């Protein structure tokens, strides 16, 4: 990755960790606003990193749930859809 992507990804990881620790769903957007005021390029890379990390986490939760169900002999959960994207 380049400098912009590296900085954006590092900040995205930190923001997602802060979101969880603080229980503040607005922190990601607040950081995005700070970045946008300084650099649209960095803000776009940051939001891309946020979306990619959230998507990867959802994929991991789905895969883990499917494997857990298989190992228990239970029915596998349905995959998420655009109408119901949450994985539990």
The answer to whether 66 and 75 are in contact (CB under 8 A) is no
pLDDT at 2: 94
Alpha carbon separation from 79 to 66, 68, 82 (Å, rounded): 9, 14, 10
Q: What is the pLDDT of residues 34-56, one digit of tens each?
A: 999 999 999 999 999 999 999 99
Residue recorded with tokens 């992507």: 5
pLDDT at 57: 92
Q: What is the dihedral of CA 40, 10, 17, 84, to 10 degrees?
A: 60
Q: What is the CA radius of gyration of the chain?
A: 16
State the Cα–Cα distance between residues 80 and 58, nearest whole angstrom.
9
pTM score, whole prediction:
0.83
């Amino acid at each position: 990755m380049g400098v912009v992507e590296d900085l954006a990804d590092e900040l995205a990881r930190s923001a997602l960790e802060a979101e969880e620790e603080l229980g503040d769903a607005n922190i990601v957007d607040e950081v995005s606003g700070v970045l946008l005021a300084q650099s649209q390029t960095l803000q776009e890379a940051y939001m891309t990193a946020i979306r990619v990390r959230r998507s990867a986490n959802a994929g991991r939760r789905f895969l883990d749930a499917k494997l857990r169900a298989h190992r228990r002999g239970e029915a596998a959960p349905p995959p998420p859809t655009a109408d119901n994207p949450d994985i539990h």
